Amino acid sequence: MKRKSPKPRTFPNDGRPLLRFLAKKRNRISPLLILTHDFPDPDALASAFALQYIAERVYKIQSRIVHGGIVGRMENREMIRLLKIPVHKIRSEEVKKYPCVALVDTQPEFRNNSFPKSRRATIVIDQHASVRKPNSEFAIVDPECGATSVILTKALLALKREIPKSIATALVYGILSDTLDLYRAKRADVIETYLKIIHRCDLRALAHIQNPSRSKRFFQTLGQGIHNAVTWKGLVVSHLEEISNPDLVAQVAEFLMTYEKCRWSFCTGRFHDRLYVSLRASHAATKAGNLLRDILVQREDAGGHGTIAGGSFQVGKNVSERMWKRVEHRLIERLLKRLRIPSKSRFYRPFSN
């Protein structure tokens, strides 16, 4: 009996569903508030920038890009400055003022954004897996695309229009930053999409964004992260204590992950009344997002994909040093249990003389 030829592999999204939705709903959803997650990273900024361009230039939908928290990393601030991304810190009344809201690189149910959990979003575009379907009128969620920027890049390419150099540069950086320079790209279409956009970007601006001048505070925090680091059985842990911005937690976790004996790096930092946590793993099979959710009291306080995970939770205002340390200690206890490392393990400082 003759075997049937296997069906060609199809990918979850080519950008066209988003274009069809915008074309159909353009009159009803203008003006549109485009909301990223708090403390936006390059992928969130690039995705919002591209969505605004499509909405305004193609479909005449007025829009405004906003975020909660602050833009902490120097790379991200340089990205906004050089590429002239019109992003604003959200005002308390804005979500109520705009009847239509698009969430990019996050979802209504996630706790990393300023969107009311009881409200329905108009659009959701995200790469992160979720427990339930997003509460939205239209959604594209592709957990294997590597970066939300990939989804928006496909939409732009489907338009078959000239893509502005600033937007192409933002999308290239968004893809590179979230896929670890394509190392974590799981599918062929992710690399193909990158190759279709890279020649349209400003390589000089991209190089400057990736290598910005850094403040004295950054190096002080990095030094503290190295000094405070302890390790055992492939796990490196560092508590940064008080930090100037939450992005530093992820930066130190990423830096410590380059230690040759490291299989997991875990970093915490205190910002206002919240403890921010970041986890990195050497192998994607670890599923860092699930691992981090398992050690937090509320699973919704964390998220991630592949080898990267992060989150935060409220500890309280005017909390004593003793309470902060107790919370940090309990996290490590649960992490050790989850990684099956004996709780009585003797950590040592690998970078001390």
The pTM of the full predicted model, rounded to 2 decimals, is: 0.84
pLDDT in tens, 31-62: 999 999 999 999 999 999 999 999 999 999 99
Per-residue pLDDT band at 6 (split at 50, 70, 90): very low
Domain 216-338's class? alpha beta
Nearest to 172 by CA among 193, 211, 198: 198
Q: DSSP 3-state assignment of 124?
A: strand
Instruction: Answer for the pair 149, 194: CB distance below 8 angstroms, yes or no.
Output: no
pLDDT exceeds 70 at position 10? no
Whether the per-residue pLDDT at 87 is higher than 80: the answer is yes
pLDDT digits (tens, 9 = 90+) for 207-234: 999 999 988 999 999 999 999 999 999 9
Mean pLDDT of 51-80: 96
Q: How many C-beta atoms surround the C-beta of residue 250 within 10 A?
A: 23
Average pLDDT, the chain: 91
pLDDT confidence band for 12 (50 / 70 / 90): low
The predicted structure's pLDDT at residue 129: 82
Q: Residues 105-123: pLDDT tens digits? A: 999 999 899 999 889 999 9
Q: How confident is the model at residue 315 (pLDDT cuts 50, 70, 90)?
A: very high
Q: How far apart are CA 208 and CA 246, in angstroms?
A: 23
Q: Where are the beta strands (DSSP E) in the chain?
A: 32-35, 63-67, 87-89, 101-104, 121-126, 136-141, 230-232, 235-242, 264-271, 274-281, 302-305, 308-314
Enter the tokens of residue 251.
């930066």
Extents of the domains making up the chain:
16-209, 216-338
pLDDT of residue 170 exceeding 80, the answer is yes
One-letter amino acid for residue 53 of the chain: Y
Q: Are 84 and 166 in contact (CB under 8 A)?
A: yes
Environment class of 41 (CB within 10 Å of its CB; exposed 0-12, middle 13-18, buried 19+): buried
In this prediction, residues 12-23 reach a mean pLDDT of 88
Indicate if the pLDDT at residue 306 is higher than 80.
no
The pair of structure tokens assigned to 18 is: 């988003």
Q: Is the pLDDT of residue 7 over 50?
A: no
Distance between CA atoms of 271 and 242, rounded to whole angstroms? 6
DSSP-assigned letters across all residues of 57-78: IIT---EEEEESS---SHHHHH
**DSSP of 203-243:** HHHHHHHHS----HHHHHHHHHHHHH-EEETTEEEEEEEE-
Can you give the C-alpha Rg of the chain in angstroms? 21
For the cut 70, the answer to whether the pLDDT of residue 11 exceeds it is no
Share of the chain above pLDDT 90, in %: 77
Banded pLDDT at 289 (limits 50, 70, 90): confident
Q: Give the mean model confidence (pLDDT) for residues 309-319.
A: 91
Identify the residue with better confidence: 7 or 183: 183
> For 16-209, CATH number?
3.90.1640.10
The tokens of 224 are what? 């503290």
pLDDT band at 84 (very low <50, low <70, confident <90, very high): very high
SS3 of 51, please? Answer: helix
